[in-house]
Structure 1
């Protein structure tokens, strides 16, 4: 039995769920109607045709990406929190992000994250081109790290793998290093370590700490 009432937001939420799970090519009006338990005509009534639906999903994704909120007290820690949230949100919706990119709205989507980062680097005492470099460096690090993650996740199983390639001898006598490199990397931990090092360096500049920036320490 078709649902007697349906909202535009419910349609968009269901469509976003299908795209997240199966990709935009699998999003058809008939499949979406089945997902919602309603008639195809009801879908058209709320969102128009498929292209209008995809446009609405892109706009919805752009708005969702604008809800990043810094956490922590010191600006350095808050910068790290924005980057971690950005990575988390990008990882959660790869197909939707790809749709945003295809429609030429990537820069608009990243604007709220840039604005949040700009506010925090200002709070840390950075201004002008130095502040702009810091904002872009954190953004590039976050997006670049994510792209490397995705490529590794999609790559075939490596044989030999890292664990088979490393030995104490190849680690220049550092057995602990060899053992650590032989273990699978923890991407979450590696992202935070590299991000904190980047932020600390950006705020320190030429050896000077940014005002009120401090250093990012382990949580």
Structure 2
């Protein structure tokens, strides 16, 4: 009798626990959905663009990536065009986070160019998307303003200052384009290691060795930008 009486209690207790667990899971699921923010949507969209390019970004793919409904994506960011506009605005804002570092004017200017190069290399598809939407000049304005400030601090004004700023911007953008082209180029036959020897290097074995080795983009960038800055500012080149 006692065993029969206790069994329903155990069953009722188990049912109550299962119901409580189900309610907790539903509450957790509901809170997770409510926790989805516009920032989450933009983060996921930016990741898709960064990895696969703008054409790969669809509302269905984005919704699947976030584990939510397409209607939820529309609610947070609007349609695809509005989503792309929001990504562009955020990319422009991110590129504005450039702060000069160092004590001397030349060092601070070089630091701005390094930061800009890093940002352009870190967001190639997003940068291309900004360019396609006709906002390239706006995208570069924060970095340009940072360079203007540092060039003024170095004592340059007027047309000379403008030419220095634009020369540096051209150097950064051109360098990044060359880097990207080299990275995407097919394997070269023959390569540099086969093309350069003592004879082709005019009997300069060290030169031949240097040209046969893979280039070091970071070192080359710093070498070229430092030489430009020191020349444009009229300072003596380093030994």
Regarding TM over 0.5, the answer is yes
Partner in structure 2 of residue 4 of structure 1: 33
2:99 is aligned, of 46, 65, 69, to 69
SS in 2 for 1:69: coil
Give CA deviations for 1:99-145 in whole Å, capped at 9, x if unaligned. Answer: 10111100000001011001111111111111101100110000000
Q: Which has the higher contact order (CA 8 A, sep 6+)?
A: 1
Distance 2:63 2:226 in 1: 46
Partner in structure 2 of residue 161 of structure 1: 191
Partner in structure 1 of residue 16 of structure 2: none
Give CA deviations for 1:57-79 in whole Å, capped at 9, x if unaligned. Answer: 01111111111111111110011
Distance 2:143 2:77 in 1: 28
Partner in structure 1 of residue 175 of structure 2: 145
SS in 1 for 2:96: helix
**How many residues end up aligned between the 2 structures?**
209
SS in 2 for 1:158: coil
SS in 2 for 1:126: coil
2:66 is aligned, of 17, 31, 36, to 36
- Within a 5 Å distance, the mapping from 1:1-150 to structure 2 comes to 3-5=32-34, 6-150=36-180
1:170 aligns with 2:200: yes
Q: Which runs of 5+ in 1 are unaligned?
A: none
Superposed displacement of residue 147, structure 1: 0.6
Superposed displacement of residue 53, structure 1: 0.4
Partner in structure 2 of residue 196 of structure 1: 226
Distance 1:8 1:93 in 2: 20
Partner in structure 1 of residue 24 of structure 2: none
How large is the Cα RMSD of the aligned pairs? 1.5
Q: Which moved more, 1:3-12 or 1:191-200?
A: 3-12
SS in 2 for 1:88: helix
Q: Which runs of 5+ in 2 are unaligned?
A: 1-28
SS in 2 for 1:197: helix
Q: Which runs of 4+ in 1 moved over 3 A?
A: none
Superposed displacement of residue 4, structure 1: 1.8
Superposed displacement of residue 35, structure 1: 1.2
Superposed displacement of residue 10, structure 1: 1.0
Superposed displacement of residue 154, structure 1: 1.1
Pick the structure with more helix per residue.
2
Distance 1:72 1:37 in 2: 45
TM-score scaled by length of structure 1: 0.92
